[in-house]
Structure 1
Amino acid sequence: MPEINKPIEKWTARDFIVYLHDRHLEVYGIKYVANNRGMEARNLKTMIDEYGAAIVRDFIDACFASKKPTAQWPGCNFGFMFSYMRDRHLPPLLAKQKTAKQTEEDEQRAAAQSQINYGELF
């Protein structure tokens, strides 16, 4: 796994490649294989820049959870995830993130409104 003490917000494409290798072995029991490592790294960087590292990790985990191995396709790599699984797994994660962000903003607004300075009332 990527450096254990490194916060997810600081993960890079390199950290995600290590994560993919480790999780793939854990989920499928076989080594991770990618056809084009350069393209994989560029796609990871694109997603990290656009959505943030936490969403990318959740996306990878969702793809691994849903992709069941078959005799013809016993594993799953990020190229496949990015090309064929993104439209199904990314939108729910983005909606969940938006809801969580909205809830946090609502809580902050409510906390700010509840901090009344009673000295100013008189």
Structure 2
Amino acid sequence: MLGRWVGTKRKPGEHGPEVTKKFIDLCFADYKPSLDWPGVSFGWMQKWMGRNLQRAVNELKAEQQRAERNEGVDNTWF
């Protein structure tokens, strides 16, 4: 599953490592463990917390846009 998302040496993945890491981080931040379900797997995250994928993609795009916008800013002025 992770190979399909992240990619392998021979084949690129659907989302890449940055989006996958952000997705997993968002899922762990949202998940509240219980006695019946003390942990989660990546398959469970994909099925039940898929809404976090769009959040991860949007947050990474916003970070990239912010970095591009601030690329030519002179920090000595601030």
SS at match of 1:72: coil
Q: Deviations over 1:14-58 (max 9, x none)?
A: xxxxxxxxxxxxxxxxxxxxxxxxxxxxx2122211222122112
Normalising by structure 1, what TM-score? 0.47
Alignment partner of 2:14: what SS? helix
Q: Which has the larger radius of gyration?
A: 1
TM-score (norm 2): 0.68
**Distance in 1 separating the partners of 2:21 and 2:30:** 14
Indicate whether 1:70 and 2:28 are aligned: no
Deviation at 1:74? 1.5
Q: Which residue of 2 aligns with 1:21?
A: none
Fraction of identical pairs, as percent: 35
Structure 1 residues 65 and 106 mapped into 2: Cα distance closer, same or farther (>3 Å)? closer
Gaps (5+ residues) in structure 1?
Answer: 1-42, 112-122
Q: How many residues in Structure 1 have an aligned counterpart in Structure 2?
A: 66
Give RMSD over aligned pairs.
1.7
